[in-house]
Structure 1
Amino acid sequence: MDSDQEEQQIERNAGRERIPPQETYETKVEVPDEPDKLFSFHKLWIFTGPGFLMSIAYLDPGNIEGDLQSGAVAKYKLIWVLLMAHVLGLMLQRLAARIGVVSGKHMAEIAYSYYPRIPRLILWLMVEIAIISSDMQEVIGTAISFYLLSNGNIPLWAGVLITICDTFTFLFLEKYGIRKFEAFFCTLIATMAVAFGYEFVRSKPEAGPLFTGMFLPWCEGCGTQQFLQAVSIVGSVVMPHNFYLHSALVKSRKVDRTRRAKVAEANKYFFIEAFVALFCSFIINVLVVAVFAVGFYDKTNADVRYQCYNNTNHMPEFYKKVFPNNTDPAESDIYHAGVYLGCAFGVAALYIWAVGVLACGQSSTMTGTYAGQFAMEGFIQIRLPTWKRILITRSIAIAPTLAVSYFS
């Protein structure tokens, strides 16, 4: 029995006939049939896009908060964990992309063919829970950025509601073609790089300890707090629903799967693109770790409060009172991070930080929506319009988030 017959037998045992690959994209990017070369920048450009969309999951507000807390509790000592998490992520993303390229199906579609109904539904529910949980921190991160940009005039609960409308607006870009849609996401990544790069330059971290922490897999003097932070770094970087997303995104390229050489070529360029995208993601994450290793490590609330009142920063008065006058470790979250930057480097640093966080929240929110859409289409064979998908997942995510933001 050959492999094709074995696959058909597995599908019959699972209680259903083989389903053809779904047309995830109405139009696909044409891949020119050029003579085979070892490497071509033109071909790389054709395949560039899915990897950068995938890499946004490595740059969501949860990752940013994990980065700044890593700098606050361990300085540069856990950057090697961040590096290893990105390497692990690259290996797994490569496998996910290969599945999509070789089979023409994404992971959820393949699961539909190979799993019986009950395990398949359980898998789908697990993916949906992961997406909704991720969506909650993306929503609150976006709401915090609106709060900072408006100097508190847009309360958190209002920012949460705004995220519903603006996500619908950005998703209309898909109508202009997949390449323009991908370019928009890349613009958001560039916005993060510029915003966090500015904070990095202003902070002036030490290069020696930073590179030591990046390549020396050791954490001298670390305890339970640092260990838990290392675990949270891996958990925030490697997210399972992102593999479903990546395996579907690669279907946007029109690969001739009847020719083995073309499949191998697509796998090669998708891997190179994923490597470049995750390298950029890693650098952006390191920028955030370094900034708050300087700003929060071994600092108390009183230390930061002193900077707020004694630096010439033009900060609104209410921001200067955010950090309490006590000797507890400096509070480290996205909101307090923005206030610290404004106190230390001027109010412009606060607004630039908020713009970077806004780019994180908006981009990761949209990719989460697509991951959920692909999972639903594959696992249970239901295809919803994008706006309905947003309405369902965002409503579930917003209900608890809105309650927390309103009463906090």
Structure 2
Amino acid sequence: MHAKSPPSADVMTAGQPPGGWRAERGEPSLSEVFGSVRVAAGASFWRKLVAFLGPGYLVAVGYMDPGNWATSLAGGSRYGYALLSVALMSNVMAILLQALCARLGVGAGRDLAQACRDAYPRWVAWPLWLFAEIAIAATDLAEIIGTAIGLNLLFGVPLAIGVLLTAADVFLILALQALGFRWVEALVVALLAVIAACFSIQIAMAHPDWGGVLRGFVPTPALVADRDMLYLALGILGATVMPHNLYLHSGLVQTRAYEADDAGRRQAIRLSTIDSTIALCFALTINASILILAAATFHSTGRYDVAELDRAHAFLAPLLGSSLAPTLFGIALICCGLNSTVTATLAGQVVMEGFIAIKLAPWLRRLVTRSIAIVPAALVTIWSGDKGAGQLLILSQVILSLQLPFAIVPLVWITASRAKMGRFVAPRWLTAATAVIAALIIALNIKLVVDFAVG
């Protein structure tokens, strides 16, 4: 099978109007895997689609990380199936936003970090970089705590020790990247399959009220009127539409060696969008399963305050009548933590290289990012134990939600600019829809802050 060579940076930016960017595009982020996945030029549509499948699943991992578990468990145990509507709306938002990311990465040949660096003056770009790093640290914090809790539940490893052990996952990432990027994608998909199997068995044991499940997908005014429900809804939103995923996806689509002419790039945008849409629909089933499990087991039995992962693990066996359920829960949790580790590492690399053009060795970048998150995680777990860790998980997701506008607004603005995107400018309907999403998220964040400020 004949495969074309990866498109060069010059070819990838061919056709862009001069003066659309403040600076020329430099070396691509993730340069070690740029254009490394071959796409046969004469292959059928379906064979090309198979070649493009992968980045969407790495993005989908961020929509079902351990922080998502904590918010979904809290929402399901307290409000039953009512917050399923938030999971659904968040997923629709994510599909539209990730479609913009694919368009930016392929159409402009830049990831979102590079686009911000080349579109804005430094006094704007540098704060955006800082906010992106805060979002990645919050993501890493959730992964550290989630993985540590999983190790504690399955093997009895103390939380503080588990937090420190998570620093060793850097070697897993390095080993996989040395084998090739397809191996990274294969690991992610395999772990996702394990997670799906674990939750399928638990849902079958829980016997949820399927009528209540269907009604839960219909939004209720209480989502805005109830401050506590809004807090959890924003947590679910922050755990679903994650800032670092917008940077990550716009970089990952460039791992494919697609045809560099206009027709090839249009097809690459289409295939990348299909890939992310399929993967995010899969992520919705996992997110909904967590919330349904919490509603069917905890809310239905009067346990309205289950937010800690270890408490959920302890309650599952007596409520479902099987010792297998908590084991499956722990296995899925560790798989989520490992998967999220992969995506946070790559996202951190894209953000740092894209914004400030600093290249660090992957192991060094990973250890720096991990250290920023390990310190607060270790202090909280030592000081307040399991309960504090669970509260920190939910707080990390709300922090992510508050960071969202600083990634979404530049993404929508840049992809709507014909001067920057040329013939690949986003359709007006997509720009309008994502602009509404950005406005909604900003409005909800302002309401949350005001509500808590006034007590």
TM range (shorter): 0.7 to 0.9
Q: By how many angstroms is 1:342 displaced?
A: 2.3
Q: By how many angstroms is 1:298 displaced?
A: 5.2
Aligned to 2:177, the other structure's residue is in SS state helix
Please list, as runs of the form range in 1=range in 2, the aligned pairs for 1:187-226 lying within 5 A after superposition: 187-214=190-217, 216-218=218-220, 223-226=226-229
Contact 1:55 1:281 (8 Å CA) reproduced: yes
Residue 18 of structure 2: aligned partner = 5
Q: By how many angstroms is 1:346 displaced?
A: 2.6
Residue 266 of structure 1: aligned partner = 268
Residue 366 in structure 1 maps to residue 342 in structure 2: yes
Please list, as runs of the form range in 1=range in 2, the aligned pairs for 1:278-317 lying within 5 A after superposition: 278-297=280-299, 299-300=301-302
Deviations 1:144-180 (A, max 9, x none): 0000001xx3100011011111342243111111111
Contact 1:101 1:255 (8 Å CA) reproduced: no
Distance change (3 Å), C-alpha of 1:139 and 1:5 = same
Residue 351 of structure 2: aligned partner = 375
Residue 228 in structure 1 maps to residue 236 in structure 2: no
Find the aligned partners of 2:88 and 2:367 in 1 and give their Cα distance.
36
Residue 348 of structure 1: aligned partner = 324
Give the counterpart letter for 1:244 in structure 2: Y
Residue 33 of structure 1: aligned partner = 41
Distance change (3 Å), C-alpha of 1:358 and 1:3 = closer
Stretches of structure 1 lacking an aligned partner (at least 5 in a row): 12-16, 302-328
Contact 1:142 1:358 (8 Å CA) reproduced: yes
Please list, as runs of the form range in 1=range in 2, the aligned pairs for 1:117-196 lying within 5 A after superposition: 117-150=122-155, 153-196=156-199
Distance change (3 Å), C-alpha of 1:45 and 1:96 = same
Distance change (3 Å), C-alpha of 1:88 and 1:196 = same
Find the aligned partners of 1:266 and 1:346 in 2 and give their Cα distance.
47
Which ranges of 4 or more aligned residues in structure 1 deviate by more than 4 Å? 219-222
Of the candidates 385, 393, 401, which is equivalent to residue 361 of structure 2? 385
Query: How many aligned positions are there?
Result: 366
Aligned to 2:28, the other structure's residue is in SS state coil
Q: By how many angstroms is 1:41 displaced?
A: 2.1
> Root-mean-square deviation (CA), in Å?
1.9
Distance change (3 Å), C-alpha of 1:219 and 1:197 = farther
Residue 106 in structure 1 maps to residue 111 in structure 2: yes
Q: By how many angstroms is 1:62 displaced?
A: 0.8
Aligned to 2:62, the other structure's residue is in SS state helix
Q: By how many angstroms is 1:330 displaced?
A: 4.1
- Give the TM-score normalised by structure 2: 0.77
Q: By how many angstroms is 1:54 displaced?
A: 0.6
Q: By how many angstroms is 1:218 displaced?
A: 2.5
Contact 1:131 1:241 (8 Å CA) reproduced: yes
Contact 1:171 1:366 (8 Å CA) reproduced: no
Give the counterpart letter for 2:243 in structure 1: P
Distance change (3 Å), C-alpha of 1:22 and 1:228 = closer
Aligned to 1:58, the other structure's residue is in SS state coil
Of the candidates 19, 30, 35, which is equivalent to residue 24 of structure 1? 30
Contact 2:74 2:306 (8 Å CA) reproduced: no
Aligned to 2:81, the other structure's residue is in SS state coil
- Give the TM-score normalised by structure 1: 0.85
Contact 2:191 2:339 (8 Å CA) reproduced: yes
Contact 2:194 2:332 (8 Å CA) reproduced: yes
Find the aligned partners of 1:88 and 1:165 in 2 and give their Cα distance.
34
Deviations 1:228-274 (A, max 9, x none): 322222122111121000000001001222x1111111111111111
Q: Which has the larger radius of gyration?
A: 1
Find the aligned partners of 1:219 and 1:71 in 2 and give their Cα distance.
17
Contact 1:192 1:356 (8 Å CA) reproduced: yes
Q: By how many angstroms is 1:193 displaced?
A: 0.6
Q: By how many angstroms is 1:87 displaced?
A: 0.4
Find the aligned partners of 2:96 and 2:282 in 1 and give their Cα distance.
16
Find the aligned partners of 1:219 and 1:204 in 2 and give their Cα distance.
28
Residue 248 of structure 1: aligned partner = 251
Contact 1:21 1:105 (8 Å CA) reproduced: no
Residue 337 in structure 1 maps to residue 312 in structure 2: yes
Amino-acid identity (%) = 35
Please, which moves more after superposition, 46-55 or 344-353?
344-353
